[in-house]
Amino acid sequence: MKRLLAISAAAGLALLTACTAGTENSAPSIAPSATSHDPVTIEFWHGFSADNELKAFDDTLAGFKQKFPWITVKATKAVQDDQILQSVRGGNPPDVALSFTTDSVAQFCKAGIFQDLNPYLKASNIDPAALFPKVIAEYTQYQGKRCVMPMLADAYGLYYNKKLMKGNEPPKTLSELADLTKKLTVKDAQGNIKVAGFVPTSQMYENAPIHTGVMVGAKWTNPDGTSAIGSDPQWKTLMTWQKDLVDWFGYDKLEKFRKSFGDEWSADNPFNKGKVAMAIDGEWRNAMLASDAPDVDYGTAPMPVADDQAQRYGAGFITGTIIGIPRGAKHPEAAWELVKYLTTDTGALVGLANAIRNVPSTLPALQSPDLKKDANFQTFLDIFANPNSTTQPAHINAVFNQQTLQEAQIQWESGRAKDLDALLADVDKKINDKLKLTAGG
Phi/psi for 313 (5° steps) reads -60, 135
d(CA 441, CA 225): 8
Cα 257 to the center of its chain, rounded Å = 26
For 17-21, 94-98, 157-161, 435-439, which range has the lowest pLDDT when averaged over its residues?
17-21
Examine the pLDDT at 440 and tell me if it is beyond 60: no
Amino acid 143: pLDDT: 85
Q: How confident is the model at residue 3 (pLDDT cuts 50, 70, 90)?
A: very low
Characterise 285 by phi-psi region: left (phi > 0), alpha (psi -120 to 50), beta (else). Answer: alpha
- Cα separation, 154 vs 359, in Å, equals 6
3-state secondary structure the chain: CCCCCHHHHHHHHHHHHHHHCCCCCCCCCCCCCCCCCCCEEEEEECCCCCHHHHHHHHHHHHHHHHHCCCEEEEEECCCCHHHHHHHHHCCCCCCEEEECCCCCHHHHHHCCCECCCHHHHHHCCCCHHHHCCHHHHCCCCECCECCCEEEEEEEEEEEEEHHHHCCCCCCCEHHHHHHHHHHHCEECCCCCEEEECCCCCCCCCCCCHHHHHHHCCCCCECCCCCECCCCCHHHHHHHHHHHHHHHHHCHHHHHHHHCCCCCCCCCCCCCCCCCECEEEEECCHHHHHHHHCCCCCEEEECCCECCCCHHHCCCCEEEEEEEECECCCCCHHHHHHHHHHHHHCHHHHHHHHHHHCCEECCHHHHCCCCCCCCHHHHHHHHHHHCCCCECCCCCCCHHHHHHHHHHHHHHHHHCCCCCHHHHHHHHHHHHHHHHHHCCCC
What's the pLDDT score for residue 336? Answer: 97
- How much of the chain exceeds pLDDT 70, in percent? 91
CA distance 270 to 279: 9
Residue 27 scores a pLDDT above 60: no
Pairing of strands 40-45, 71-76: parallel
Is 21 a residue whose pLDDT tops 70? no
6-154+318-385: CATH topology is D-Maltodextrin-Binding Protein; domain 2 (3.40.190)
Distance CA(34)–CA(333), nearest Å, equals 5
Mean pLDDT of 17-30: 39
Q: Which of 436, 439, 435 is nearest to 400 (CA)?
A: 435
Interval 175-197 mean pLDDT: 97
Residues of the chain with pLDDT > 90, as a percent, come to: 75
Give the pLDDT band of residue 33 (cuts 50, 70, 90): very low
Residues in the chain: 441
The answer to whether residue 4 scores a pLDDT higher than 50 is no
| C-beta of residue 365 within 8 angstroms of C-beta of residue 350 | yes
Per-residue pLDDT at 12 exceeds 50: no
Least confident of 182-186, 311-315, 374-378, 384-388: 384-388
- pLDDT-derived band at 25 (thresholds 50, 70, 90) equals very low
* 300 Ramachandran zone, left/alpha/beta (phi>0; psi -120 to 50): beta
Report in angstroms the alpha-carbon separations of 65 from 58, 60, 62, 121, 348: 10, 9, 5, 21, 12
101: pLDDT strictly greater than 90 = no
Residue 439 pLDDT grade (very low, low, confident, very high; cuts 50, 70, 90) = low
The strand pair at 96-99 and 298-301 is best described as unpaired
- How many Cβ atoms sit within 10 Å of the Cβ of residue 51? 8
Are 265 and 50 in contact by the 8 Å Cβ rule? The answer is yes
Average per-residue pLDDT in the chain?
90
Distance CA(249)–CA(78), nearest Å, equals: 37
The arithmetic mean of pLDDT across residues 356-382, rounded, is 93
Tens of pLDDT, residues 37-89: 889 999 999 998 878 889 999 999 999 999 999 999 999 999 988 899 899 99
* Stated pTM of the model: 0.82
Residue 26 in this model has a pLDDT that exceeds 80: no
- Assigned CATH for 155-312: 3.40.190.10
Could you check whether 6-154+318-385 and 155-312 share the same CATH topology? yes
Tell me what the mean pLDDT of segment 382-397 comes to: 87
Domain residue spans of the chain: 6-154+318-385, 155-312, 398-437
pLDDT, tens digit, 9 for 90 and up, residues 254-289 = 999 999 999 999 999 999 999 999 999 999 999 899
Instruction: Identify the pLDDT of residue 297.
Output: 98
pLDDT (mean) for 198-218: 96
Q: What burial letters (b/e) apply to 5-27, b meaning 16+ CB within 10 Å?
A: bbeebbebbbebbeebeeeebeb
| Contact assessment for residue 344 and residue 131, using Cβ atoms and an 8 Å cutoff | yes
d(C-alpha 307, C-alpha 234), whole Å = 12
- The confidence score (pLDDT) of residue 35 equals 52
Partnered with residue 322 across adjacent β-strands are 99, 150
Residue 36: what pLDDT? 58
